Amino acid sequence: MSMMEGVDYEDVERTLCVPEGHFQRNRSGAPIHIIRLHLTPLAKYWMAFSHANIQPCSHVSDITVQRAIFLYCVLRGLNINIGQVTADEIQSCARGASSKAPLGHPSLITHLCEAACIDVSRPPLEHLRKELDAAYFTHYCVVDESGHPTPPPQQPRVHRRAPPPAQEPVHEGRAGAIRTLTSAFPERQFISQEDFATRVAWSADPAQECGRAKVAEASAMDEEDEESDDDE
């Protein structure tokens, strides 16, 4: 059965169009085409792919009824004879192509000519068309339901953890409490400060650790100066 037989045009509109999108119709109410702004992003993706590989067309501001039905069959998962569609497109291109219009299916035609032992190495040759990559689809196909271009999705932000609070003051406070208890109750067996520092490993604050190193270095230098003075 032909794709054009028994078509439910309202279902085609629901499948291909954004809300409020529809076929443009003539005075008698027959559908003519769907303008590109009325198509959903998914329909635009398939429209670009079809124009590049199956149904060559340089006119992309709207889509004809026949091409719209082809996209409808694709999105609905209906059976399509791609070979017949491609053959019909090549015949139509050969009959109506002008010298200014780009040749449709250049790679396929070149392969068929090679299979027929035709020399395809001599010019004129077709230039490669723009590649359909992610940038192309983002620029030409990603739109919101209002028909306005939407920016590409943003990369997720990296949430950095806040630095942990300085724990050195807490450690010093507990060490001071042990000193107080030891002096107040000498008969009790409290843990020594050396054992406390060994068993309770608190992570030092980097800033304080750096400050400690500088203080220790300064103290060592002072001691060396004092020893030098004594020797003199």
Structure tokens at 84: 């017949």
> Cα 220 to the chain's mean position, in Å?
58
Last residue of a domain, one of 120, 140, 160: 140
How open is the CA angle 160-161-167, to the nearest 5 degrees?
150
> How much is the pLDDT for 33?
93
pLDDT band of residue 125 (cuts 50, 70, 90) is low
Highest-confidence range of 25-34, 115-124, 166-175, by mean pLDDT?
Answer: 25-34
The residue among 123, 140, 157 that closes a domain is 140
Residues 132 and 200 occupy one common structural domain? no
Checking if the pLDDT of 14 tops 90, the result is yes
Over the stretch 38-52, which tens digit does the pLDDT of each residue have?
A: 999 889 988 888 887
Is residue 152 in a domain?
A: no
Residues 96 and 42 in one domain: yes
What 3-state DSSP class applies to 149? Answer: strand
Q: How far apart are CA 172 and CA 200, in angstroms?
A: 12
Tell whether 117 and 226 lie within a shared domain. Answer: no
Instruction: Catalogue the E-assigned strands of 15-114.
Output: 24-25, 31-35, 62-64
Mean pLDDT of 68-87: 90
Q: Are residues 126 and 16 in the same domain?
A: yes
Domain count, the chain: 2
**Within this chain, do residues 21 and 133 fall inside the same structural domain, yes or no?**
yes
Residues 116 and 204 in one domain: no
Domain, as residue range, for 118 = 9-140
pLDDT of residue 61: 83
Residues 72, 118 share a domain: yes
